[in-house]
Chain A
Amino acid sequence: MEDREFGFSLSEEQSSMKDTVAKLVKSMVMGNPAHDMDEERKLSREVIDKVWELGATVSMVPEEYGGYGMEYSPIMNSIFLEELAFGDMALAIAATLPSTFIYTILQMGTEEQKKKYLPLYCDPAYKACTVAVNEPRFGFDAVSLETKAVKNGSKYTINGKKCFVPMAKDSGHMLVAADADGKMDLFIVDGNNPGLKIGEREKNLGLYALESYPVVLENCEVPADDRVGGDNGCDYSRFLQKTRIALSAIGTGMSRASYEYARDYAKERVQFGEPIASRQSVAFMIAEMAYEVDAMRLMTWKAASALEAGRDAKRESYLAKLYAGEMTMKLTDYGVQILGGHGYIRENPVERYYRNGRGIAILEGMATV
C-alpha cells in the first residue's frame, strides 16, 4: 500500500466539518440549552435533528443503501464526536446512536442485512435505533458476556440482561451483544420482538438528558439471518475497537469543555486581589489540562488512523479508551476543583461534566466511529 503522508493538521474537509459542528454546538447547545436538557432530563429533538441533518453518518454509506457514497473515515467521525461532546455528552451519544447500528451492519453485515436494514435508517430524518452491550452486574466485561444466544434450527434464542440501552423505547431495532457458543457476537433485534422487555427509564449518575433503559431478553427469538455477518458472525473485536475510539473522542470533547470553562473562570475569578489563574497552583493545573486534552485527542486520532489505513487497531483503541477514561475523570475533577464551591453547584457546567465524565471508563459500545 502506498504510504500516506504522516501529519497532524486537519484537511480542508476535516476543518470545515469541525467548524460546522462547532458552530451548531455553540449556538444550540453550549450554556443554557445543555444545562436545561440535563435538568429536564430530556434532549432537544430539534438539536438531534439538526445534527443528523449534517449527514455525517449517512454521507459515508454507499448510495445503493441510501447514503451519499463518500469515503468512510474514522478520523472524520472522531472529530465530529469530539465537537458534539464538547457541547454535551448525552447529545453526542443520542445524535450519533444510529451510526453505531448503521456502520456495524454496513461493515460487518451480510448483503441481505445491508439491503434490508440500511435504507431504514439512512434517512434524511433521524430515526432511533440502538445498541445493547452493557450488562448490570459486577465484573461486567464486553468480551465475556452473560447474555447467551443459542441456535435452534433457523432461529437464535437469546437470554440475558442489558442496561444503559440508550433510547431503547423509541428504537426500531437494536443490536444486542451476546455470547453465541463461546464467540461474542451481535444480533439485530426488532424493537417489537415479544421477547424484549424494556424496563423503566434508568436513573444514573450522569447523562441525565439521555434516555436509557434496562432491557431483559427472555427467550427472545431472532431469525438466524439476523446474526450480524451471517452464520459465522462478525468481527466483534473490530466493533469494540470502533466504539472505544468513539468513547475516547467523546472523553476528549468533554475534557476540553471542562478545561476551557475552568481556564476562563480562573482568569475572571479574583481572590486576594488577583485572578486565581495568576497563582502557580491553579495555573499548573490548567497547563496540565491543556496538554492532556491534546494527548487524549492525539491518541484517539492515532487509533482512528490505524482503522483508516485498514489496519487492526486493537492495541491503539484499547489504550486510547483507557487513557481517555482515566484522564476525563481527572480533568473533569480539575474543572470542579478550580471553580471551588461554585463548581459544586449545578448552575455551573463543570458539575455536569464531572458526573458525565465518569461514564467514559465504565460504558462500552454506546457510540462508534
Chain B
Amino acid sequence: MINLEMTQKMMDVKNGMNNMASSMLRPISRHYDEREHEYPKELDVFRSIKIMSRPKKKKEGEEAKPEKPGPKKLGTNLSTVLVIEELCWGDLGMVLSLPNAGLGNAAIVAVATDEQMERFGDKWASMAITEPGSGSDSGSITAKATLDGNEWVLNGEKIFVTCAERADVAVIWATVDKSAGKAGIKSFLVEKGRPGFKLEKLEHKLGIRASDTGTYVLDDCRIPKDNILGSAEVKQSTEGFKGAMKTFDNTRPLVASMSLGVTRAALDLTREKIEESGIKLDYEKNPNNMSAIEKEFYMMEANLEAMRLLTWRAAWMMDNGEANSLEASMCKAKSGRDGTLIAQRCCELLGPLGFSCENLAEKWMRDVKITDIFEGTGQIQHLIVARSVLGYSSKQLK
C-alpha cells in the first residue's frame, strides 16, 4: 500500500530529534567549527546511548531477526534516516563525531563474533579504508596483513579516517594476499596504543571541522590472530568484498539523509529571511508571476522533497528486506549533488548574510559538500545507477 503521509511515530521521532539538535548542537555549532580538532565534550552525553547495537540473539544458532515494520512499529533504517536528518540540521560534523557510532562500529555490529562483540562492542571504532593511492577504487588497497604465528602483522598507511583521534579502536582494511585481488581484502581490529600503530596527522578541512579526520601509519603493528573481522580464508570468489560493499546499501541512505539535514537548515534560514523581507510564500501563485528568489526557493524546496523521498524509499526497502542497491545509490547521487548546489544557492540568495560567518549558511555550504564525496562520490553513484538500469557490468561501463 502506498502511503507517504508521515505516521505519528515518525513525527514523534522527528520532533524529538529536532529538539535535541536545536538545544544541544546548534548552540555549539560555530564554536567547534572554529576549533578544529577539539573534541566537542558536550557529545559525551551520547556515549550512553547505544546507537550502533545488534538485536539480541534468541537461541544458539538462531538468526536475530528485526521485527517487521508496520503502522505501530517504525523500521530501523527509516527511523535512522529521520534521526540523522534532524541531527544534521543541527550539525553534521558533530553527528559524524558521536561517540561509539562510527562506521567501524557499524562494521563490528554487522560481522563481529560474540567474543569480539564482548571485547569491542563498547568501544568507539573508526573505519580505515582509504589510502593515498586508493580512493573510490577500494579494491586496490595495498596495506598488508601477514600472519606470523598467533599474530597478524600489519603494514601500510590509511588516510581520511573519520574520528581517527577520538576512536578507541580502528577497523583497518588490509590485504592478506595481493595476488587474490578483492578476495584477499580483510578487515582487522586494531586497538589504540599497539606498538607500530600511529596517528600520523590530523587534516584541516573545508567543512565538518567538528569531526576529526586523520592518517594512520602501521609499521609492523602486531595484533592477536582473532582480531580479524570475519573469516581469514581467501576464497576464490569476491563474495566477501561484495559483502563489505553491500554495507554501503545501508549507509548510503544515511549519507543522503545527512545532506537532507544540512540542506534543510540552509533553506530554513533562507525562508526566514525571505519572509522577513515581506514576501509571503503561499504555494499558490503561478511561478511566473513572482520574483526570481521566490521561484527559486520553491524549486529548491521541491528538490529537497525529491531528495528526501528517494532517501526514505531506499531506507524503507531495506527495512522490508528488499534489495535496494540501486535505490541507495539513486538517493545518494541526487542528495549529495543537489544538496551541495542548494546550499551554495542559499548563500547567494542570502547575499552578504550568506558570505558572513555571522550566520551558519556559509558553514552549511562547506559542510554539505562532503555528502557528495564520502561513501562513494556522486560520480561513483551515477556509475552504479547507470550500470544497474542499463544492465551493464563494470567492464561494459567503465
Contacts and interface: CB of A to CB of B under 8 A. Distances in A.
Interface string A300-332: 011001101101001110111011001000000
Given A6-B4, A6-B7, A278-B396, A298 B313 contact: yes
Contacts of A316: 305
Interface residues of A, number: 55
B3 A308 contact: yes
B331 to A, nearest CB: 8
Contact of B382 (A140, A288, A296, A298): A288
A58 interface: no
A322 B3 contact: no
B129 to A, nearest CB: 24
Interface stretch (B85-93, B130-138, B279-287): B279-287
Interface in B296-343: 298-299, 301-303, 305-307, 309-310, 312-313, 316-317, 320, 327, 330-331, 333-334
Consensus secondary structure, chain B interface: helix
Given A7-B316, A9-B2, A291-B330, A277 B303 contact: no
A131 B177 CA distance: 71
Contacts of B385: 287, 290-291
A283 B6 contact: no
B317 to A, nearest CB: 7
A295 B7 CA distance: 21
B284 A318 contact: yes
A141 B285 contact: yes
B317 A8 contact: yes
Interface in A246-304: 263, 266-267, 277-278, 280, 283-284, 286-288, 290-292, 294-296, 298-299, 301-302
Interface in B1-43: 1-10
Contacts of A305: 2-5
Nearest to A323: B302
A143 B2 CA distance: 30
Contact of A6 (B10, B302, B389): B10
Contacts of A263: 389-390
A116 interface: no
B311 to A, nearest CB: 10
Give the one of B70, B284, B316, B331 with max A CB within 10 A. Answer: B284
A298 B287 CA distance: 21
Contacts of B284: 143, 237, 240, 314, 318
A355 B313 CA distance: 31
A142 interface: yes
Contacts of A315: 283
Given A139-B289, A280-B397, A314-B284, A319 B302 contact: yes
A283 B397 contact: yes
A358 to B, nearest CB: 14
Contacts of A200: none
B4 A290 contact: no
A4 B305 contact: no
B221 interface: no
B71 interface: yes
A287 B3 contact: no
A59 interface: no
A99 B316 CA distance: 33
Interface in B345-398: 379, 382-383, 385-387, 389-390, 392, 396-398
Given A8-B316, A263-B390, A3 B8 contact: yes
Given A283-B390, A284-B382, A291-B385, A9 B298 contact: no
A10 interface: yes
Given A7-B316, A291-B385, A294-B310, A318 B283 contact: yes
Give the one of A8, A14, A263, A319 with max B CB within 10 A. Answer: A8
Given A6-B5, A283-B383, A319-B298, 15 more contacts: A7-B1, A11-B2, A263-B389, A277-B390, A283-B397, A284-B382, A284-B386, A291-B385, A292-B334, A294-B327, A294-B330, A298-B309, A298-B310, A318-B284, A361-B287
Interface of B: 1-10, 70-72, 78, 283-289, 298-299, 301-303, 305-307, 309-310, 312-313, 316-317, 320, 327, 330-331, 333-334, 379, 382-383, 385-387, 389-390, 392, 396-398
The 6 closest A-B pairs by CB, nearest first: A295-B306, A298-B309, A283-B386, A287-B385, A141-B286, A291-B330
16 contacts: A3-B7, A4-B71, A5-B70, A9-B2, A10-B1, A284-B379, A287-B389, A295-B309, A298-B4, A298-B306, A299-B305, A305-B5, A306-B5, A315-B283, A316-B305, A322-B302
